[in-house]
């Protein structure tokens, strides 16, 4: 019998989290270099981008859903404490942006797994740089993730 991870852990990011990602990533139907100098398309998709590529809005939605499953699984695997839906969604948004390896080695994750939930918003705000420079867009995104974390 083949049991997928989704069957065992069907937790998904909520609409507020998806809306946050879409707001900060924007929709791009052709590739562009993000501030981190990574080729990106759709709503922040980076894994399969090729020069000269063009996608539809529907393809961007599909890529986003596939990407979200990857980051949802990572959050479920790495976080050892219970999370509310908003906390889970805030972390998926964060990991979507900074990457799994960065999250896995972060002080944020270490503190959270000790049960220090109240430290998460401040830890999120530390991730406001691209190429060593503070970026206003990242600061706004981290603040939005922190608000989602604290909601409800």
23, 34, 93, 133: the active-site residue? 34
pTM: 0.91
Is 25 an active-site residue? yes
Overall domain count for the chain: 1
pLDDT band (50, 70, 90) for residue 36: confident
Q: Is there a domain that residue 8 lies in?
A: no
**Residue 93 parent element (H or E):** helix 85-98
Q: What is the pLDDT of residue 1?
A: 44
Q: Using an 8 Å Cβ cutoff, are 5 and 71 in contact?
A: no
Q: Is there a domain that residue 4 lies in?
A: no
25, 72, 93, 145: the active-site residue? 25
Question: Which token pair is 130?
Answer: 């691209």
pLDDT band (50, 70, 90) for residue 27: very high
DSSP 31: E
Is 34 an active-site residue? yes
Q: CB count, 10 Å around CB of 97?
A: 22
Question: Which token pair is 13?
Answer: 């990011």
- Tell me which residue range forms the domain holding 27: 13-150
pLDDT score of 136 more than 90: yes
**Residue 59 parent element (H or E):** helix 57-78
- Read off the CATH number of the domain in which 129 is found: 1.10.530.40
């Amino acid at each position: 019998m083949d049991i997928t991870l989704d069957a065992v852990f069907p937790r998904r990011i909520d609409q507020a989290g998806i809306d946050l990602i879409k707001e900060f990533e924007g929709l791009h139907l052709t590739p562009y270099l993000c501030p981190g100098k990574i080729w990106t398309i759709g709503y922040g998709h980076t894994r399969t981008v090729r020069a000269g590529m063009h996608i539809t809005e529907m393809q961007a939605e599909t890529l986003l859903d596939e990407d979200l499953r990857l980051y949802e699984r990572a959050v479920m695997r790495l976080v050892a404490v219970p999370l509310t839906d908003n906390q889970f969604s805030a972390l998926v948004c964060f990991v979507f942006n900074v990457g799994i390896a960065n999250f896995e080695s972060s002080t944020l994750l270490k503190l959270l797994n000790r049960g220090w939930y109240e430290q998460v918003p401040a830890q999120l705000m530390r991730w406001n740089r691209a190429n060593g420079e503070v970026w206003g867009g990242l600061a706004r995104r981290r603040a939005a993730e922190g608000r989602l974390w604290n909601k409800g």
